Amino acid sequence: MTLPSENEPPTRRQALGVITATAAGFAVVQEATAADNPAANVADRASSIRVKSLTPFRAGPKVFIKIETNHSVTGWGEIDQLEPNTAIALVTSLFELLDGENPTRIEHLWQKIYRAHRDMRGGPFMVHTIAGIDMALWDIAGKLWGTPVYRLLGGPTRDKIRVYPSPKAIKPGAGPGEFCATPQELDRYVKYVAECRKQVGPDGAMIFDAHCALPPPFLIQLASMIEPHNIMFIEEPAVPGNIEVFKRLKAAIRIPLGSGERDRTIWEFIPYLQERCLDVLQPDCAHTGGITQMKKIAALAEGYQVPLAPHCVTSELGVSASFHATAAIPFFLIHEYYPNLLKGADKFLRKNWTVDAQGYASLPEGPGLGVEVDEKVLAEYPKTDKSKWEWPKRGRLADGSIADY
């Protein structure tokens, strides 16, 4: 190939020759450096750890899952608020997407499962199940590195976690209500809230849980009457799904509003922040896709100066997972926790954190989630537990119509 002189423009043939030679040279360089290119090694070929099995265990209304690896490192997770038979069937089917994968590629596996089927993306059944898997994968990662999960998330931002209910934090709640309240019913709620304030004292915290059960006209009436009792925030002021209702309530109520236990993933939380209609976000680690999503929701909320007050109705295993996420976020208010919510779970779950008299939980210790599971006792649980899953039958108004709750 003849190159053109300095003052002579190249011919078309010469130009094509230069391009071809350059491309060939680039290909040689690319091939030579591929082994050193991080982008070409996203599969983490240096690690031989792989997922080899997933075992679900039913315990009353909850499902626990065990994920085993070929390196004898095991992770545990909890699937919450799903019909157990359905949860077991779904997580067993989803194992097809995990089998043989590197369990430390947590974000990759979360995306792989969530996006696996275009017509089953999102929703409570899929996302609650992914949450249990996500907890187990983080448990494996922490155990593999011999450290608590919150240290893999950037380290703790606090030394302890405030929880409720406690002697200094309480949450009175509401049942199904008509669209407009009578003076008698309003008075009943006002007295109820006043008694709760007296119980925790002026230095205590009180949340009022509307539970999506009080229609907007009712809640607007009530909020102005309980405002003098200094409510930390009203929880679940409306049923999720219609942002316009939340905007309407925010414009009419001066008490801070919080919600999120029935919202799943970052995509369902974005509208609340964009429309500035919630003052507190309440994601549930077991409902919103696990630790992976909860950390992302916290980052979104931080940008809007909105704290998290995580909802949580799991056993101590799920609570521990939520505590790890909570420990690693900067904007936090208070965390829900009910001891021994699953009766008899203390016989097969051993946590290593405690709650003090002031209502603060210590941070989980030990590698992974920091919860030891006695598999043999867990396997025997269904033989001794007499409870069974039942679909809720509450939620009716005086005329027999179905109400939200």
Instruction: State the catalytic residues.
Output: 211, 311
Within 328-360, residue ranges assigned H as helices are: none
Are 237 and 259 in contact by the 8 Å Cβ rule? The answer is: yes
For residue 385, give every residue at least 6 positions away whose Cβ sits within 8 Å of its Cβ, in sequence order, or none.
Answer: 59, 60, 343, 344
Element (H, E) at 288: none
Record the tokens describing residue 244, joined without a space: 């316009």
d(CA 231, CA 273): 21
Cα(199)–Cα(278) distance, integer angstroms: 27
**Beta-carbon contacts of residue 248 (< 8 Å; ≥ 6 apart):** 216
Radius of gyration of the chain (CA): 26
d(CA 113, CA 387): 31
Amino acid making up residue 59 = A
Which tokens in the block code for residue 190? 């006002």
> Residue 261 is encoded by which pair of tokens?
């236990």
**Residue among 294, 232, 305, 307 at smallest CA distance from 268:** 294
Taking residue 143's Cβ as centre, other Cβ atoms within 10 Å add up to 20
Between CA 103 and CA 97 the distance in angstroms is 11
